[in-house]
Chains A and B, each alone.
Chain A
Amino acid sequence: DAGVTQSPTHLIKTRGQHVTLRCSPISGHKSVSWYQQVLGQGPQFIFQYYEKEERGRGNFPDRFSARQFPNYSSELNVNALLLGDSALYLCASSLGFLTDTQYFGPGTRLTVL
């Protein structure tokens, strides 16, 4: 069975640009969460979506936004990129919302120059 997939695997942008990262959950999973992991730290929670609605938001600026589509795939958008946005962006999916294990994708490595 296919796991969580993310695209692209690597991305280089310059300051001020916009980026869109994509995630496809495990088949049958209805919840997607996004995490940011900067070098040397553990992943930090950004957003959680379940049944196309936002169910949780971490402490990130409004430059970060996300959405979930009817097929449960998801996009993370970041506007006005800063050097500090350089990180590994991880997507995780789970069957449901409150009580289910999250399974992570391989991540998208974003470098902002």
Chain B
Amino acid sequence: DAKTTQPPSMDCAEGRAANLPCNHSTISGNEYVYWYRQIHSQGPQYIIHGLKNNETNEMASLIITEDRKSSTLILPHATLRDTAVYYCIVRDLTGNQFYFGTGTSLTVIP
């Protein structure tokens, strides 16, 4: 079962930072938070993941709260190509199985 809650949709102006929130209040101490995005009818694309510390890569930054009950994905300078559905996933470590929710549909506006 999906263990995350995300807003169904968000808008962001092109060139501005997009901040996508995710609640995962039942997360266990050894469970990772993963973010993927899916552009219409394509396979999900891996963005970033983390356990406790904040993480940054060439695509995005991931901010995880100290109690680990929520996180925020930050796209620092959103472009039109960032329009997609963004999924926040808590990975079940009993098996490498990803449980997707319905995600956040991000629309970047020119």
- Chain A residues in contact with chain B, CB under 8 A? 4, 31, 33, 35, 40-45, 48, 55-56, 58, 88, 90, 92, 94, 96-107, 109
> Which of B45, B46, B95, B103 meets A42, CB within 8 Å?
B103
> Which of A48, A56, A104, A109 meets B45, CB within 8 Å?
A104
How many residues of chain B get a CB closer than 8 Å to chain A's CBs?
21
Contact between chains at B96 and A94 (CB < 8 Å): yes
Instruction: List the A residue with the shortest CB-CB distance to B2.
Output: A42
In the assembly, what is the distance between CA of A55 and CA of B95, in Å? 7
Contact between chains at B97 and A42 (CB < 8 Å): no
Contact between chains at A43 and B41 (CB < 8 Å): no
Q: A42-B2, A42-B87, A98-B93 are in contact. Are A104 and B44 (CB under 8 A)?
A: yes
Contact between chains at B97 and A56 (CB < 8 Å): yes
In the assembly, what is the distance between CA of A50 and CA of B57, in Å? 28
In the assembly, what is the distance between CA of A94 and CA of B32, in Å? 15
Q: Is B102 interfacial (CB 8 A cutoff)?
A: yes
Q: A42-B2, A42-B100, A42-B101 are in contact. Are A48 and B95 (CB under 8 A)?
A: yes
